[in-house]
Structure 1
């Protein structure tokens, strides 16, 4: 049995319409059939009246009355004579009768003239039934044409009645994951109000739970920053000390763990901050300058790994957003590219306009993302099936949430059409024009040195 409410309503209405149409059609057919039989009896009576009054002679053609009716007139005379069937007709009283004649059923009207002579007006029953059936079927044609129209109207009514529910589902599908605003009750059927009220209550509870979770994460990360910073300083103070080789190796591992924990706390704070919403007012952000500054910050780290970091193309372009939010988004993408690119690899950056969109594209020569991890790569704390370095699985989740807030899209795809292979991250955001578009001219890789 189908679980679709629309299908169930349509099937139910279709069954009711067809049942009502069949029952109504049967009664209409019987009524029209009976009326047609009575009309033919009236025709026989009218012909009999004309013959009885002498207005029409029995030897005149009756084809003009109704050629398809096949009405015949038989003179029976003053007394019974002729064939046995004519003598049998004479034995009946005046009026309408059904008799057998020449092996066929016949409807007959007997009349007696004032002079005592009698006559019979006859019509085959089969002919009468054919005429009545034809008239009754023609009566059913409007009903037969009405049923498809009623089915179409029923489908439109069902679709229109369920349209508010479909629109409500569409609005929910288009919402961001963090949008917990209540659903509106306006312009919705009253039958849906309890359902919408229940959803709004659920959204309110989810919002409260998410706020509590964000506050807990932010408070915990903030409280842990102080002891982690103290541990980091204490570890740095041990560098000048004369330590055995084994102790210095353990000190290096301790420093790496502290750096990893510190990075985790910073990412947790960033995640909590961006889930709570923008901290500053949206302004015009020069995207090209922001990316340049962030690339310059990462040049020393890239140089230590022997990574060729630079621009393929950079154009002056601006977007609207919170500067810190935009910087965090680009920084995380660049940091991932540099971290996962092997020694001696390459990271190419492009910042350019494409139609009404500002595009930031970062390509690296790292291992890429396994095909089975692509769908989950933006989930918090998901590090994939082959994690490397000291990633914690929050960077791309933060990037994805920032891109959503900026009303853009981000696409990660493995590069397989070149050697070496790698990963391409493409962010598309609504672009704005600078106040002075001639402020800077586009720079290509030939105009901007690598690793700067």
Structure 2
């Protein structure tokens, strides 16, 4: 069963063309065959008129007539004589008729001269039929050539007619997941308007549902932050209390859990703030990417030193990009947090900032275990921590990074570093370069 609308239209129209062409060809063939037969009869009549004066010799092909037509003049005389076949012909009436002569059917025209003598102009029906068929087939050639041309034109027309639907599908496929703007109806066929209207209605309902979920997440994270902070303070206060060793271990686990919950709430709030009202890229301020990254590195350097991790720059070039300072700093911090969490002690994290074509590149390489290949496709999904999660990550960091990069019209790619002497993860962020206008330059918050 063909599920393609294009295939159904093409096959349906092709079947109509072939059926119509076959029916028309059959009718044209029969008409051309009859016309060819009548034309050959008119030739016999004209030759008979010329034979009235007796200038043609009996029993021989007529002069001036092509030999392959096999037309003969038969003199029957004034009285029946000669072979039995000729005597039989003498008894027939004047006119066109088909008779048997010498064991084969012939088409002949009998005539009587004023002096009473009779003659016949004859032609074998097999020759006549061959000539008629040849002429009829020649008539069919234009139709036979027209059918493939019509099929090609049909395919082009069907493809052109469905092109607005293909463009509409391409428009939807090219959109970001959070782009819920209505589909335009201008320039689309009227048959698609009900479909577009339904899709736009669905987009509105989905937008309302997404907004409700965002508000719920933001409100829940905001409401939970106060009690979590209070619990964290209470847990910190327990550190000064003289407790048994077993209780101190439980308090340490409680602090770690509270810290992880607090980090999760901060990530949820950051995501909610960014999705609530993402700014247009052209309205964003200019930011020195190198300065923003240096500030985040300075904040995280004590944490790296505590773990003996060599955190530093391999290459730093000054480049300007457009973006919200808070979200850009959040993106860099999440990437470095992820690298610090996965890099073992005495490891290394190298940062590079440079230009490639018309993009500013931020590249971060660590010496951790990398990401399992099956997880690379899903690593940007919210709350996905991979098949072998390590540390106290929430699974939101890379998801926030992905959304920030997309909001800045950039791209991000992750790849594992494999080699005989090292392993790790390489993160490459491409951001469009912006013109350097000092009066608009902002630092990272």
Task: Tell me if the contact between 1:317 and 1:433 (Cα under 8 Å) persists in the aligned partners.
Answer: no
Find the partner of 1:393 among 387, 392, 395. 395
Deviation digits for residues 181-207 of structure 1 (CA, Å, limit 9, x no counterpart): 111111112221221111111111110
Residue from 331, 336, 339 that aligns with 2:338: 336
Q: Deviations over 1:237-280 (max 9, x none)?
A: 33333333333322222221111111010000111122223269
- Mapped pair 1:283 → 2:285: yes
CA deviations over 1:130-168 (Å, ceiling 9, x no partner): 000000000000000000010001101111111111111
What does residue range 317-396 of structure 1 map to in structure 2 within 5 Å? 317-396=319-398
> 1:51, 1:58 within 8 Å by CA — same for their partners in 2?
no
Measured in 2, the distance between the counterparts of 1:294 and 1:266 equals: 17
Match of 1:444 in 2: none
Q: Equivalences for 1:39-438 in 2 at 5 Å?
A: 39-52=39-52, 54=53, 56-58=55-57, 62-278=62-278, 281-435=283-437
Contact 2:286 2:437 in 1 (8 A): no
What is the correspondence of 1:14-29 to structure 2 with a 5 Å cutoff? 14-29=14-29
Give, in angstroms, the shift of residue 87 of structure 1. Answer: 0.6
CA distance in 2, matches of 1:85, 1:168: 81
Q: Aligned partners of 2:173 and 2:249: how far apart in 1?
A: 52
Task: Tell me, in whole angstroms, the C-alpha distance in 1 between the residues paired with 2:24 and 2:394.
Answer: 73
Return the offset for 1:418: 4.5
Does the 8 Å contact 1:98/1:105 carry over to 2? yes
**Separation of aligned partners in 2, 1:129 and 1:61:** 19
Partners of 1:320 and 1:47 in 2: CA distance = 97
Higher deviation after alignment, 135-144 or 395-404: 395-404
**8 Å Cα contact 2:61/2:70 also seen in 1:** no
TM-score using structure 2 length:
0.94
User: Does the 8 Å contact 1:381/1:394 carry over to 2?
Assistant: yes
Deviation at 1:69, TM superposition (A): 1.5
**What is the DSSP-based 3-state SS (H/G/I as helix, E as strand, rest coil) of the residue aligned with 1:432?**
coil
Contact residue 110 and residue 120 of structure 1 kept, 8 A:
yes
Larger deviation, residues 318-327 vs 2-11: 318-327
- Unaligned residue ranges in structure 2 (runs of 5+): none
Decide which moves more: 67-76 or 426-435: 426-435
Deviations 1:104-146 (A, max 9, x none): 1110100011111111100010000000000000000000000
Runs of 5+ consecutive residues of structure 1 not aligned to the other structure: 440-452
The 1:81–1:147 alpha-carbon spacing in structure 2 relative to 1, beyond 3 Å, is: same
Distance in 2 separating the partners of 1:365 and 1:221: 34
Give the number of equivalent residue pairs. Answer: 436
Q: Secondary structure at the match of 1:65?
A: coil
Aligned twin of 1:449: none
Is residue 25–residue 143 contact of structure 2 (8 Å, CA) maintained in 1?
A: yes
**CA–CA separation in structure 1 for the residues paired with 2:16 and 2:351:** 66
Whole-Å Cα distance in 1 between the matches of residues 325 and 34 of structure 2?
88
Distance in 1 between residues matched to 2:61 and 2:36, nearest whole Å: 23
Distance change in 2, residues 1:359/1:56 (3 Å): farther
Whether contact under 8 Å (1:407, 1:430) holds in the other structure is: yes
